[in-house]
Amino acid sequence: KNPVVAVCGATGAVGREMLKVLEQRDFPYSEIIPMASYRSAGKKVPFKGEELTVVELTENSFEGVDLALFSAGGSTSEKFAPIAAKSGCVVVDNSSAWRMNDECPLVVPEVNPHDLDWHKGIIANPNCSTIQMMVALKPIHDEAKIKRVVVSTYQAVSGTGQKAIEELENQVRRLMSGQPVVADVYPHQIAFNCLPQIDVFMDNGYTKEEMKMVNETVKIMGDPSIKVTATCVRVPVFYGHSESINIETEEKLSADDVRSLLSKAPGIIVEDYPEKKAYPMAINAAGEDATYVGRIREDETIANGINMWIVSDNIRKGAALNTVQIAETLIERDLVRVP
């Protein structure tokens, strides 16, 4: 029997994309139940040419549900994921609440699908910036062992949620018509600006988003020897995160070696034709599933270094798609059950 699937946070930016991805990939289900807060109960969401009615997410929502895809914020996941798992429902959670918990696998299906084997009911979907970086780094790490990564991100507002998408739209409109802007979601104006702050600051001077990239990389790769240092920046782009990445490897790889490695790797499209001015761009990656890699070149200041530019749709591979791919892998491996 195909699973009964709940989409928790179905009215949000990621939840709506989850429904779209489930539809597009012909995901096997016997029922799809969209859930959100009491504010949205009764609202309709489109699915396969029909309309599904949103129900309120409560402690009793998970009876008879086999699989729940969560993207309803950290505190909602913290509260409801254990309740779901307790009633026998396997949770794939897109928030940061469970990512570093030792009981919860943190999975990018192209990189560490084997970690799903030890799940105990809650599986975490990594941070959006980490996911696309992992897809691109894994083949390089397998071939030449990565010692250190320096990453700077250029992150789209959709990663913050629906309200942030509206804030950028409104600020652009107001500025173009000579009105003062209102910043509500972000601490400063995001239109025509770059904010070197994503999430809150930690004691070490880094932001929480930056430390997510550091810590999640080690857990996903299963290799504590990989050192990552990150600067995360919010830019006035609606969809698609871009990343500038500098990698130092143990073994020497030429730029051509990296191009050929990545061309064969799952989930990656190499787009690297400087003579045609062709390289990955957020506006092209938006709405797509792949992680695009370009501007691949050797770092001439160290012995074994590579620079590259990685772009992917943060709402798809960075969130909804990766979550659905995890669910598909669970079904393939007959792991849709709480041990």
- Please give the torsion angle defined by the CA atoms of residues 89, 266, 106 and 165, in that order, rounded to the nearest 10 degrees: -80
Give CA separation, 105 vs 80, 196, 247, in Å: 18, 30, 26
Rule CB under 6 A: say whether 76 interacts with ligand A2P. Answer: yes
241 is catalytic: yes
Kindly indicate which of the ranges 158-166, 170-178, 288-296, 305-313 contains the residues binding ligand A2P, using the contact rule CB under 6 A. 158-166
Kindly indicate which of the ranges 8-16, 110-118, 227-235, 280-288 contains the residues binding ligand A2P, using the contact rule CB under 6 A. 8-16
Rule CB under 6 A: say whether 155 interacts with ligand A2P. Answer: no
CA distance 187 to 185: 7
The catalytically annotated residue of 128, 141, 188, 194 is 128
Q: For ligand A2P, how many residues bind (rule: CB under 6 A)?
A: 18
| In the complex, residue closest to ligand A2P by CB | 12
Rule CB under 6 A: say whether 161 interacts with ligand A2P. Answer: yes
Query: Are the beta carbons of 116 and 196 closer than 8 angstroms?
Result: no
Query: Are the beta carbons of 92 and 72 closer than 8 angstroms?
Result: no
Kindly indicate which of the ranges 25-33, 69-77, 127-135, 289-297 contains the residues binding ligand A2P, using the contact rule CB under 6 A. 69-77
Member of 39, 44, 188, 252 binding ligand A2P (CB under 6 A): 39
DSSP assignment string, 38-83: GGGTT-EEEETTEEEEPEE--TTTTTT--EEEE-S-HHHHHHHHHH
Rule CB under 6 A: say whether 45 interacts with ligand A2P. Answer: no
CA distance 150 to 246: 5
Rule CB under 6 A: say whether 126 interacts with ligand A2P. Answer: no
Rule CB under 6 A: say whether 57 interacts with ligand A2P. Answer: yes
Kindly indicate which of the ranges 70-78, 222-230, 237-245, 307-315 contains the residues binding ligand A2P, using the contact rule CB under 6 A. 70-78
Rule CB under 6 A: say whether 13 interacts with ligand A2P. Answer: yes
194 is catalytic: no
Q: Which of 107, 67, 102 is nearest to 87 (CA)?
A: 67
Rule CB under 6 A: say whether 173 interacts with ligand A2P. Answer: no
Rule CB under 6 A: say whether 12 interacts with ligand A2P. Answer: yes
Rule CB under 6 A: say whether 73 interacts with ligand A2P. Answer: yes
CA distance 28 to 2: 6
CA distance 130 to 219: 11
Query: Are the beta carbons of 232 and 209 closer than 8 angstroms?
Result: yes
The catalytically annotated residue of 8, 89, 141, 241 is 241
Q: Which residues are catalytic?
A: 128, 241
Residues at the site binding ligand A2P, with contacts judged by CB under 6 A:
9-15, 36-37, 39-40, 57, 72-73, 76, 161-163
